[in-house]
Amino acid sequence: MPAPTPEERRELARDLGSRLPAGFVLGAATSAFQIEGATHEGGRGESVWDAFTTQPGRILDGSTADRATDHFHRVDEDVELLRTLGIDSYRFSFAWPRLQPEGKGALRQAGVDFYERLLDRLDAAGLTSLATLFHWDTPNALEGGWFARDTAQRFGDFAHLMGERFGDRIGSWATINEPATVTLEGYALGVHAPGATRLFNALPAAHHLLLGHGIAVQALRAAGVTGGVGIVNVHSPVVPATDAETDVAFAELFDVLHNRIFADPVLLGSYPTVPEGFEALFSALGEVSTADLQLIGQPLDFYGLNYYAPTRIAAGSGAASTPDGASAAMASLPFHLAAWPEYPSTGFGWPIAPEYFGTALDELATRYGSVLPPVFITENGASFPDAVEFDPATGERQVHDGARIDYLASHLDAALRATSGGGAAGAIDLRGYYVWSLLDNFEWAAGYTQRFGLVHVDFADFTRTPKDSYRWLRLVAESR
């Protein structure tokens, strides 16, 4: 299929804008570690990611996030970019080690001041906020990280202090971002910080993250926050590579590992049934108490859904690769991620398969039915190798990222169709859509090699250049 023309893309923007339900929130998302930089300022403590990036071979381009996008020093400029984008809401995360350098004790004033400034600027720009309390930057001082049950308690204490301090200023609170990724990439496969390769023995980290979520929900509410409280989970529909029994069985196993272990306890108050024959793999989870499950399964005000791509699973240990990096640990598993040759792919190699966004929403509705609270798409986006060009007539800096526009257009369309149609997802109360990401940033193990931004960032001098996708999203916002 030929790529759409610029006018066709504008027409799509107008169409999508006109289809957004009244009150639907349009937003853009970032996370602290990926954009802030200033890792040694204001008495900020070290996070597991600071430690991880200094270990040789961990980050694809050998980089650190010491400066990232220099957002810490460019808050005003970045909020101005959000304002002129014409969207309603900004999803950002609080850096735990900037606020509690050791993961405990009083909030550090320099950290509080930084976020007060951000929130002041957002207020002045007329934007609401969706603040994530934990987007992966665990204070390194917390012994054992999320493998230790005590970290859940420390996180709850942090949530309470944050609720007391910022409770009247935040539009919505997300406790934890993608516990699945933290568990699988960070504790099972060692691709992310802290780099542990425990495979199935990583499951206690999952439980402690979920427990941390539950304790934080309670703490935020006890602190009297005015905004709604939820969690952000990444969902990826899982399909077997073939109809062979083993492929089907491992696909079912992966669905449990990636999706259900993190959504079922939160929404249903119980862990999913382990597929037959795989029970022994889950023994590290041990006996889970009813008290823990009650905490984890407290009713939420919203459910945050991150969607990027589907996953295809085949039996047998295949090429040692995960979506964002090679992992030797992955190669030791009895299954592997298989390719999607029938779809075009993003810079990361992820398949561009918008119809699976509809599948993810259908699954959510089918599995959780009436207990599913209102849903926000808290992340959706794509990386492409964008480059700055100079307009020959005006000399203006431009980034022509038509592929990102097409990704966003097809995915927003798929989400709106699924949730307004006659299928299972029609029952979902979809309240908003946040693009990942406002800015090109530090993409974890991939360093600065993957650009997800609506705004291009030059990582040498931090110049911001709005891309064509930025103007496109603005047109969507204007067309409401």
Q: Would you tell me which residues interact with ligand FCB (CB under 6 A)?
A: 31, 34, 177-178, 181, 234, 306, 379, 436, 443-444, 452
Nearer to ligand FCB, 368 or 434 (CB): 434
In this structure, what token pair is assigned to residue 444?
Answer: 């974890």
Would you call the peptide bond into 437 cis, given omega within 30 degrees of 0 as the criterion? yes
Which residues partner with 229 through β-bridges?
173
- Round to whole Å and give the CA distance between 92 and 131: 5
Q: H or E segment at 129?
A: strand 128-134
Q: H or E segment at 435?
A: strand 430-436
- Round to whole Å and give the CA distance between 380 and 65: 22
Nearer to ligand FCB, 90 or 282 (CB): 90
In this structure, what token pair is assigned to residue 419?
Answer: 């949730």
- Round to whole Å and give the CA distance between 124 and 136: 29
Nearer to ligand FCB, 160 or 177 (CB): 177
CB proximity list for 128: less than 8 A, separation 6 or greater: 25, 88, 89, 90, 122, 171, 172
Which residues are the active-site residues? 178, 379
Q: How far is the CB of 34 from ligand FCB (least distance, A)?
A: 6
- Round to whole Å and give the CA distance between 204 and 210: 10
Nearer to ligand FCB, 12 or 236 (CB): 236
Long-range contact set of residues 342-349: C-beta below 8 Å, sequence gap at least 24: 346/309, 346/382, 346/383, 346/384, 346/403, 346/407, 347/382, 347/383, 347/384, 347/385, 347/449, 347/450, 347/451, 348/323, 348/324, 348/382, 348/383, 348/446, 348/450, 349/323
Task: Judge whether 219 and 159 are in contact, CB under 8 Å.
Answer: yes
Nearer to ligand FCB, 112 or 205 (CB): 205
Q: Please report, to the nearest 10 degrees, the dihedral formed by the alpha carbons of residues 81, 86, 88, 94 taken in order.
A: -10
- Round to whole Å and give the CA distance between 159 and 213: 9
- Round to whole Å and give the CA distance between 333 and 356: 25
Nearer to ligand FCB, 114 or 348 (CB): 348
* Residues, the chain: 480
